[in-house]
Amino acid sequence: MAPTTKRKTSLTLDADVLDCAKTFEINVSAVAEAALKKAVAEARQKQWLEENADAFAAQAHWHAHNGHPLAEIICAPGASSWNA
């Protein structure tokens, strides 16, 4: 696994919260990085869903009019297709 490139940045944080974090020996950089990674992942997912919304709608429309193409094999356990 390749080492991660780190870059210094400046943050403005609530002084009391920062003091409490120091008291509890919380690594503020690690917490900020984890929160930022989560926020970026959520933003990417939201963007992907928005970019593909038309395809999802088209698929839902097709299924509504034609049924699911695998409906016979994704039925509930115990149905005839499970016994084949």
- pLDDT tens-digit series, residues 33-65: 999 999 999 999 999 999 999 999 999 999 889
Band of pLDDT at residue 76, cut at 50, 70 and 90: low
Provide mean pLDDT across the span 27-35. Answer: 97
For 3, which DSSP code? P
Cβ partners under 8 Å of residue 6, min gap 6: none
Task: Give residue 72's pLDDT.
Answer: 76
Q: C-alpha angle 44/27/24, rounded to 5°?
A: 130
What span, in angstroms and rounded, lies between the C-alpha atoms of 29 and 72? 52
Residue 8, token pair as written in the block: 């210094």
Looking at the chain, the whole-number percentage of residues with pLDDT higher than 90 is 70
Quick check: 84 pLDDT over 60?
no
